[in-house]
Each structure stands twice: as C-alpha cells, then as structure tokens.
A and B are shown apart, each in its own frame.
Chain A
Amino acid sequence: MSIPSRRAKDRIVTALLYSLMAAVILLLAGVLAFIVKNGLSALSWDFLTQPPRDAMTRGGIYTPLIGSIQLIAVAMAFAFPVGVLTAVYLVEWARDGLFTRTLRLAVRSLAGVPSVVFGLFGLSFFVVVLGFGASLLSAGLTLGCLVLPVIVGASEAALSAVPRDYRDASYAMGATKWQTIRKVVLPAAFPSILTGAILAVGRVAGETAPIIFTGAAFFTPRVARSLLEPVMALPYHILVLATAGTAIDETRPIQYGTVLVLLVLVLGVTLVGVLFRAKLRMEKRR
C-alpha cells in the first residue's frame, strides 16, 4: 500500500474515533442537561429535608434519600468485607483445583445474572426463609449479593497485582501469612479494591428491581429506625411517582428533582471514593 493511501486511512479512522467520542459525550451531556434543567426547579432545602406529603404529590424526598443511604450502608457493610475476604481466599489460599475454579465461575456468573433474579432470591431467602421480612436488612443484603461479584472481581485483580516482592520481603522477616496479608498485601491493594467498591456503590444506589420485593416501601411515613423496618429508596420512589401516582403530570418536577438528587448522590459517593483513593496513592508514592 502506498504511503499517501495509508496516511488517508489513518486520518479517516482518527476522524471516526473522534466523532464517536464526541457523540458519546454529547449524549451524556444531553441527558445530564435534561435532568438538571427539569429537576433544578424542584430542588430546595425543604425538598431534601421534608418527607413526601399529600399522597406524595407535595413535600420532599427526605425519607427515600435517607433510605437509599441506609441501603448503601447495609449492602456495603455486607458485601465489602465478604467480597474482599473471598478474594483474599481465592488469591492467597486457594490452590488451583476443581473447588476454586467452580467458586470463580460462580462469582463470574453471578455478575451476569439479571438484577430481578436477585430480587426474587432475596424475597425467598432473606424475606421468607430467614424471616427478615420486607425490610432494610433484606433489601440491603440482596443489593449486597448483587454487587458481591463486582467487589470480588476487583479485589482479586487488585490482590494479584500486588508484587510478589512485597510478600517475599515480609515472609523473609518472619511474618506469618496472615500478618503478610493484613499488613502488606491488603494495604497495597486497597486503592484498587476501593475502585471496585465505588462501582458497587453506584449500582447499589441505582438498582430498583432487587429491592421491590425485599424491602422497598411504596410509602413510609418516617425513616426506618431499625434494620427490620421497610425503607423508601430513591430509585423506587422515582418509579412510583412516574407510574403509580395519582397525579403523574403534576409531580413531574418532583420526579426530575428526585432523579437529580439520586444522580448527585451516586456521583458524590464516587467522588469521595476517588479522592480518598488518590490521597492513599499520594501517600504511598511521593
């Protein structure tokens, strides 16, 4: 092929990639702008601090907002330690065998299961079998199961990426395996594990299907005060307002406002995580 034609081809591909990227950015910006434009008018201090009133046609979103935060907390409190420890087992202890491979396969498959299936599982297992009822606990644990593969996968990758050198150095000083993992391997892998956790929070905050059957309430007059009470959650609240309300058109601003708050919540959690990770990395490098 001649040099000019190769050059032309290169230009075409470059132009194509740039326009694709521009399209994606425009699309995202469009969605964001649309939400902000429609939702901003609804936002106020009262909107954030007042519970919904008058059959949810007025008032704020205090209850679902706190409910979502509670769900995130329960889900992560379950999924983070379990996920990380599973990964530690897989990376540090498990020998390559049938059991390990099955376990890995199971974790990978879990990631591909539709979220509604988790909802049904949560309903039958947490709500019915364990008798937690439709509650914050059941919904949180279900969400935890949903993001477990994300955390396990990210943690496994992070742990495997810790250089063998660090382990060698630790063992060579007479450290036990657990000391080595706790004091060297986990700290070194922590920033990357955090990345997985951040992604998981995003999913937990946004999912609707798993919580409908397990603990998300159509309406509760107040914030859940125990793990066994049902909670309202932002995504389900949006669904309810948009489909089941008595005055769907009247509540449009509230719907968009809620969407905007959910978006900000997810972005906010992500941002905090990213900043924290950056700080950790800074401390370790220079």
Chain B
Amino acid sequence: MTPKIKIQTTAMDLWYDQFQALKAIDIAIPERAVTAFIGPSGCGKSSFLRCLNRMNDFIPAARVDGQVLLDGRNIYGAGEDVIALRRQVGMVFQRPNPFPASIWDNVAYGPRLHGITNRRTLEGIVEGSLRGAALWDEVKDKLRSPALSLSGGQQQRLCIARAIAVEPEVLLMDEPTSALDPMATARIEELVRILKEHFTVAIVTHNMQQAARISDETAFFLNGEIVETGPTQRLFTSPRDGRTEDYITGRFG
C-alpha cells in the first residue's frame, strides 16, 4: 500500500533577489512518516523547510515559483491564509526557543492565540501536549516554573509540546538536536518516532546517522537541487547517484 502524500512540490524554485536558492524541487512527502532532508551546509535544505510553512515570507526579497501542494491545495495560491497554514504546519527550530515565561504559558500560547480561553480546556491541551512530547512526567509538578529553568533537551521537548498544542498536521523540524547532548538527542529521536504516528514529520539534519535512524524517506540536497530521494534504507545502503554516495561516505560536505 502506498502511503498518502501529504505535501507535494512541483518545479518549486526559491529566489532571493537574483540568487536562486532552490531549483526545480519535486518531492512528495508521505503522510504520517518521517522525511529527512540531508545535505551540506548552504545546500538549501533549511530554506526548503521554511517554504513549507511560508516562514520565508519574512524575507522581503524571497520569492517562490512553482507549486507546493498541501493536501492538494497550493499554499502559495491566491487567497491562502498564512496564519491558518502555519497552524496546520508547525515548526521546531534548531535552538530550543521557549518564551521567557512559565512552562504552562509556553504550551498554552498557541491555543490562546487561536482564541481558546476556557481554563479547563487549556489545562487539558497543556497536559496532552506535554504528554505528547514525553515531557509531562518531568514537569507536571512545576508547570508554573520558568521554561528557561529546564535543561536544553527538556526545552526542546517543550518547544515540540508547544508546537503540537495547536494540533498541526505537519511538523517541520530544523536540525532540532544540533544544540543538544547525545542523551537529549536520543530522547528527541525516540520522540520523533512516536510523533509520526500522528503527524507528518519533515526534518532537516546534519547528522546522517540520525536521518538513517529516524526517517522513512530521505532527500539529498546539493546546491539548491534535490539530487536523490528514496526510502531511507535504500538511500543509505545503496544510493543511486554518485554525489549522494560521495556525500554520505564523507568524500565531501
């Protein structure tokens, strides 16, 4: 059975002024699976991730051509509501970035944005999200403590809890473990494996072993193009393109 495609890009280009950052990106991201983007620094993988929830909109000179279909709807089409889109496509960043507020307020931030004010409802969302991010047991007795008093790994899981609190369908993760120690990294990786039961996960990582461990599909980016995509298992054991082979065996990058 082929899984349903959640996001499909067709001939997608990304321009920053005169500079073309992404060229003719065609990729299908399957639903409820983990898709990893690998490639050397500056290859466009993070830029691509930010195209998927239109975070590149904040860069005035950025322009996207081609199509990015989310459930068949072009998110760059006329009349697309970016606010609603970002609620549907959440994001977790490279450095843990909880707000300087309490743990509870961090998780409740998103639901409140979208107009949920009922205390009981919020309590439920906060608990559910923290459980979903495997953080509940560690923080349930100190929900009023500042988020910044948590360890780096806990902060990143809090950010994941905060992201899933608005019930997105897709979770974009931009090198979510690059600032964490190995144990915290392992926890996040385990969490990603659980998350994919409910979310479509797209993750950018510099760590190839991480991509190999947690992803179902992998795409290799190089100089703004996708060189190769395929099932992770195949891509890391028998890449078809020589450039993929050279990159993952450390010949460059």
A172 touching B148, Cβ below 8 Å: no
Q: Does B3 contact A (CB under 8 A)?
A: no
Q: Does A279 contact B (CB under 8 A)?
A: no
Q: With both chains docked as a complex, state the minimum distance between the C-beta of A273 and any C-beta of chain B, in angstroms.
A: 19
Q: Does A18 contact B (CB under 8 A)?
A: no
CB-defined interface of A157-200 with B at 8 Å, one 1/0 digit per residue?
00000010110111111111001000110011000000000000
| Given A166-B97, A286-B148, residue A172 in contact with residue B55 (CB < 8 A) | yes
A142 CA to B157 CA, complexed, in Å: 51
A136 CA to B148 CA, complexed, in Å: 45
Point out the residues of chain B lying under 8 angstroms from A179, CB to CB: 113
B114 touching A174, Cβ below 8 Å: yes
| Given A171-B58, A174-B84, residue A166 in contact with residue B148 (CB < 8 A) | no
Q: With both chains docked as a complex, state the minimum distance between the C-beta of B53 and any C-beta of chain A, in angstroms.
A: 6
A95 CA to B59 CA, complexed, in Å: 12
Query: Which of A173, A176, A285, A286 is the one whose CB lies under 8 Å from B163?
Result: A173
Most buried by A among B86, B87, B99, B114: B99
A165 touching B95, Cβ below 8 Å: yes
B55 touching A168, Cβ below 8 Å: yes
A168 touching B97, Cβ below 8 Å: yes
Q: With both chains docked as a complex, state the minimum distance between the C-beta of B102 and any C-beta of chain A, in angstroms.
A: 8
Q: How many A-B residue pairs have CB under 8 A?
A: 77
Q: Does A283 contact B (CB under 8 A)?
A: yes
A166 touching B99, Cβ below 8 Å: yes
Q: With both chains docked as a complex, state the minimum distance between the C-beta of B165 and any C-beta of chain A, in angstroms.
A: 8
Residue of A nearest to B89 (CB): A172
CB-defined interface of B102-126 with A at 8 Å, one 1/0 digit per residue?
0000000110111000000000000
Query: Which of A95, A168, A285 is the one whose CB lies under 8 Å from B146?
Result: A285
Please give the number of chain B residues whose Cβ is less than 8 angstroms from any Cβ of chain A in the complex.
32
Q: Does A7 contact B (CB under 8 A)?
A: no
A179 CA to B113 CA, complexed, in Å: 7
A173 CA to B163 CA, complexed, in Å: 6
Most buried by B among A173, A183, A284: A173
A171 CA to B97 CA, complexed, in Å: 13
| Given A172-B91, A173-B163, A174-B83, residue A284 in contact with residue B109 (CB < 8 A) | no
A175 touching B148, Cβ below 8 Å: no
A168 CA to B159 CA, complexed, in Å: 12
B113 touching A169, Cβ below 8 Å: no
B113 touching A168, Cβ below 8 Å: no
Point out the residues of chain B lying under 8 angstroms from A171, CB to CB: 55, 58, 86
Q: Does B136 contact A (CB under 8 A)?
A: no
A188 touching B58, Cβ below 8 Å: no
Point out the residues of chain A lying under 8 angstroms from B53, CB to CB: 172
Q: Does B101 contact A (CB under 8 A)?
A: yes
A166 CA to B58 CA, complexed, in Å: 14
Most buried by B among A166, A172, A188, A283: A172
Q: Does B247 contact A (CB under 8 A)?
A: no
A284 touching B101, Cβ below 8 Å: yes
Interface residues of B in 65-113 (CB under 8 A from A): 83-87, 90-91, 93, 95, 97-101, 109-110, 112-113
Point out the residues of chain B lying under 8 angstroms from A183, CB to CB: 109, 112-113
A-B residue pairs, 7 tightest by C-beta: A165-B97, A174-B87, A284-B100, A172-B91, A173-B110, A286-B149, A174-B86
- B interface vs A, CB < 8 Å? 53, 55, 58, 60, 83-87, 90-91, 93, 95, 97-101, 109-110, 112-114, 145-146, 148-149, 159, 162-163, 165-166
Apart from A283-B146, A285-B149, list 12 A-B contacts with CB within 8 A. A163-B97, A166-B99, A168-B91, A170-B113, A173-B90, A173-B165, A174-B83, A174-B113, A183-B113, A187-B99, A285-B148, A286-B146
